[in-house]
Amino acid sequence: MINLFKVGDKKKLGALFLIIILTEALGFLSGYLAMSNRGLYDNLIKPSFSPPGWVFPIVWSILYLFMAIAFYRIWLNGKGGKDIRRAMKYYFIQLGLNLMWTVIFFRFKLYGLAFIELLLMLIFILLTTFKFYKIDKTAGILMIPYIIWVSFAGVLNYTIWMLNEM
């Protein structure tokens, strides 16, 4: 069985805890920005496949946890001498794009721009995942649910854009 918190002979639970807290805090910030315009989302015309609002914070909390563990595993690999710079660069870019999407969609109500930005974010998530997988297969696999959810979010974003701005 794979120990998610151990890479080789290394395990740094304090660092793992800090990474999880920081990653979830970013998720909380994103959720806060979205929830501050909750009425907007509730009043949008949404497709029939749109999940109820309560699903989003649960799914995102789980995804941020997986991302944090993946990041931690890559960070531990870097401590072991592997070159992780490009993987980390892609990771932080996609995190920034993730936060920006919330602002573009919920604050500025620019659904088309949010969709385009989401496609860019998805590219960086894929790049991150491929780099993570090359360094640590488990870290790469932990990113797959994120890819699936953001792909679904892209379809949802596009459909909301079409239903509300066209």
Nearest residue to 22 via CA among 73, 72, 68, 91: 68
- Residue 124 pLDDT: 99
The torsion of the CA quartet 26, 49, 154, 70, rounded to 10 degrees, works out to 40
- Residue 116 pLDDT: 99
- Residue 8 pLDDT: 81
Residue 106 has φ and ψ, to the nearest 5°, of -90, -40
Of residues 111 and 11, the one with the higher pLDDT is 111
Domain segments of the chain as ranges: 13-165
Residue 96 has φ and ψ, to the nearest 5°, of -60, -40
Its pTM stands at 0.92
Provide CATH code, domain 13-165: 1.20.1260.100
pLDDT exceeds 70 at position 107: yes
pLDDT exceeds 70 at position 94: yes
Residue 155, token pair as written in the block? 């379809």
DSSP 50: P
Rg of the chain on CA atoms, in Å: 17
- Residue 163 pLDDT: 97
Please write the tens of the pLDDT for every residue from 18-70: 999 999 999 899 888 777 766 778 889 999 999 998 899 999 999 999 999 99
3-class SS of residue 3:
coil
Please give the Cα distance from 124 to 46 (Å, whole number): 27
Contact 86, 131 (CB under 8 A): yes
Please write the tens of the pLDDT for every residue from 115-146: 999 999 999 999 999 999 999 999 999 999 99
